[in-house]
Amino acid sequence: MKTNEWLTLGSHLILKKWCDASDRNFQKQFNALETTQRQILHSILQTSTFAKDKKVQNYEQFVKAFPATRYGAWREDIQRYREQKLSLSSSKLVRFQPTSGSSEQIKFIPYTKLFLDELDHAIAPWMASLYRKCPQLSSGTHYWSVSWLPESQREVLKDKNLNDDCALLGVGKRILSKFTQAVPSNVAFAANADDALFATICYLVANRNLAMISVWSPTFALQLLERLESMQQDVVEVLQSGKWGSRQASLKEVTAPHSSESAQALIASSNGEQIDFKKLWPKLSLVSSWDTAGSKAWAEKLKEKLPSVQFEGKGLWATEGVVTIPYNDQYPLAYQSHFYEFEYLEGEKQGQIIPSWQLKQGDVVSPLITSGNGLLRYCLDDCLRVTGFIEQIPCFEFQGRRFGVDLVGEKLAPETAQQLLSQLNETESKAISLLAIDTQQQVKPFYCVLFEGDIHHSINNEYIDSILRQNFHYELARNLGQLDQPQIRQANNGWNAYKKLVMFDGIIEGNIKPEPLKKVTLNSLEQL
């Protein structure tokens, strides 16, 4: 056995012991949800600058002292925090993690030591569950997604601010994880997305010990596999020479993998066009990605591409915190991490906010998190349904983003867009997404359907408009002349076109997921 394989096995053994210990504690408190959550809140209040100023000690005082918040309410305080003029928490600040969102092109989330410890309390039981579900993971390397960094955000995200899943781990686990990772995180510093993707592909092929692929979006995994099939010869040349060739300038921060054995394995597993991935990666045992809401169809396609590999969906993670984890084929609340509340989205209690221990099966809610980074009662604006319980711990299913798009008051929801796309696709067309075009007052705003490939002759602008007019507020906006007629855009590769649109508006590639309804700028649309 090679030295690297011994290091991988040893690292997995130690990681597994740590995770198992955390998991035992996770299971031990399944019947103590309220007690555990109140203890977590008390600890956070002891470190929160604002809570200490108001002398808040418990949950009852907490809900009276602080309203529900979103990033806009924290923006100025976070800017002062970054300028070292204010501290939101007495816990040691580790870094500010940038992220992008629908309402903010870039947000800076403070990551303190206490906050990272909270994430660790979710990661460890999740990993313990993974090792149980797929024991083969302990004998191979893993690929955890690393996203390309746009030039505009390169300075912001460099060094500690890499958009790297492994950066969520504590220091000890992060050191050990380096011996279990298939792709180095510095591929993120390639000069462009194509070269970052190519470098990732080369490292994955070079790794004959690959056991797991973990990404957020299933479309990203599909893109990796499809690009590998289309660039086989280029990959072989890199592996045989150990050099990037024409990509050297772009990938100067990344050492090229060198493995003639892996190059031959790629050749042997391919018929020249299609690759037998089971033959290429004989140890590949599990793939993990989003698999609900707008990602469901893409996840099914990914499963078809890798039929012999186990699949696991993702829990609800955001840069601002974690809500659920995959655990024994359910998605329970990460109840030992942050303090959680939930807003009712339906029924007679709509708008009311309750703590986690008051949830009931079937409730449709949106989470608020209070965490060790100083952000209090922070709304994530995701829609969840309570599917059941593990003893007292609620389990959830992700339903989608809470809010849709509202250009001029038409209030279109993702569900409405999904219905439109489904109706259009009944004609053997392939509608990818309904785009809400923010024209920034250049012209009237409008909606646009992005299609892949040929469009059925029965579909035109008027037909799409007639379907959308079934929504009261949309029809009113059209009648009042606030919205222009919808348009159509066609692309040979719908996902690439969608990604190009979204990235032009400043969203990081690895954070992009297919959505039935997406707001983009007119300048973005003009890139097609």
455: CATH: 3.30.300
What pLDDT is stored for residue 151 in this prediction?
A: 47
More confident residue, 163 or 238: 238
For the chain, give the number of residues.
528
CA–CA gap between residue 212 and residue 323 (Å, rounded)? 23
How do strand 487-491 and strand 446-452 relate by DSSP bridges?
parallel
Section 83-98 average pLDDT: 90
Q: Packing angle between helix 232-241 and helix 193-206, nearest 10 degrees? A: 70
Domain that includes residue 151, residue range? 142-284
10 Å CB burial of residue 526 (0-12, 13-18, 19+) is: exposed
3: in domain: no
Average predicted confidence (pLDDT) for the chain: 87
Whole-structure pTM value: 0.76
Within a domain: 277 = yes
- Report the alpha-carbon distance of residue 11 to residue 140 in Å, rounded: 10
Pairwise CA distance, residues 272 & 336, whole Å: 50
Q: Is 202 exposed, middle or buried (0-12, 13-18, 19+ CB in 10 A)?
A: buried
Does residue 503 fall inside a structural domain? yes
| Residue 167, pLDDT above cutoff 70 | no
> What is the reported pLDDT for 102?
43
Q: What is the mean pLDDT of residues 84-89?
A: 93
pLDDT tens for each residue of 340-384: 999 999 889 999 999 999 999 999 999 999 999 999 999 998 899
Report the pLDDT value the prediction gives residue 162, as an integer from 0 to 100.
43
At 474, the pLDDT band (50, 70, 90 cuts) reads: confident
Q: What is the mean pLDDT of residues 126-135?
A: 92
Asked, for residue 314, whether it belongs to a domain, the answer is no
pLDDT of residue 514: 83
- Please identify, among 284, 319, 351, the residue that sits at the C-terminal boundary of a domain: 284
Lowest-confidence segment of 24-28, 145-149, 170-174, 464-468 by average pLDDT? 170-174
Alpha-carbon gap, residue 352 to 344, rounded angstroms: 6
Q: Write out pLDDT tens, residues 372-412.
A: 999 999 999 889 999 999 999 999 999 877 777 768 767 68
Residues paired with 270 in a beta bridge: 275
Indicate the number of domains in the chain. 2
For the residues 428-435, what does the mean pLDDT come to?
93
Q: Which of 255, 284, 313 is the last residue of a domain?
A: 284
Which whole number is the average pLDDT over 258-276?
Answer: 94
Q: Is pLDDT of 166 > 60?
A: no
**Euclidean distance between CA atoms 289 and 299, whole angstroms:** 7
pLDDT (mean) for 230-247: 94
Question: What is the phi/psi pair of residue 235, to 5°?
Answer: -65, -45
- Say how far apart CA 196 and CA 189 lie, in whole Å: 7
DSSP 440: T
Q: Report d(CA 462, CA 469) in Å as an integer.
A: 10
Comparing 164 with 402, the larger pLDDT belongs to: 402
CB neighbour class for 308 (10 Å; exposed up to 12, middle 13-18, buried from 19)? exposed
Does residue 176 carry a pLDDT above 80?
Answer: no
CB 113 within 8 A of CB 94: yes
Q: pLDDT-based confidence at 318, cuts 50/70/90?
A: confident
Over residues 206-231, the mean pLDDT reads 89
Q: Is the pLDDT of residue 332 over 60?
A: yes
Q: What pLDDT, on the 0 to 100 scale, is given for residue 155?
A: 54
For residue 301, being part of any structural domain is answered with no
φ, ψ at 104 (rounded to 5°): -130, 130
Asked if the structure places residue 35 within a domain, the reply is no
In a domain, 305, yes or no: no
For residue 319, what pLDDT is reported?
85
Torsions phi, psi of 253, nearest 5? -85, -5
More confident residue, 407 or 247: 247
Q: pLDDT-based confidence at 140, cuts 50/70/90?
A: confident
pLDDT at 258 over 90: yes
Chain centroid to CA 362: how far? 25
**CA-derived radius of gyration, the chain:** 24
> Which pLDDT score, from 0 to 100, does residue 163 have?
45
Q: In the predicted model, what is the mean pLDDT of residues 484-510?
A: 89
pLDDT higher at 407 or 202: 202
Query: 21 pLDDT exceeds 60?
Result: yes
Q: For a pLDDT cut of 90, what percent of the chain falls above it?
A: 61
Pairing of strands 107-112, 210-214: unpaired
- Cα-based distances in Å from 210 to 9, 168, 255: 13, 21, 19
Output the six-digit token pair for 78: 């976070």
450 lies in some domain:
yes
Domain C-terminal end among 228, 255, 284: 284
The span from the CA of 178 to the CA of 165, in Å, is 12
Output the pLDDT for position 168: 53
Q: Examine the pLDDT at 285 and tell me if it is beyond 70.
A: yes
Beta bridge partners of 146: 164
Q: Is the pLDDT at 145 greater than 90, yes or no?
A: no
What is the pLDDT at residue 351? 95
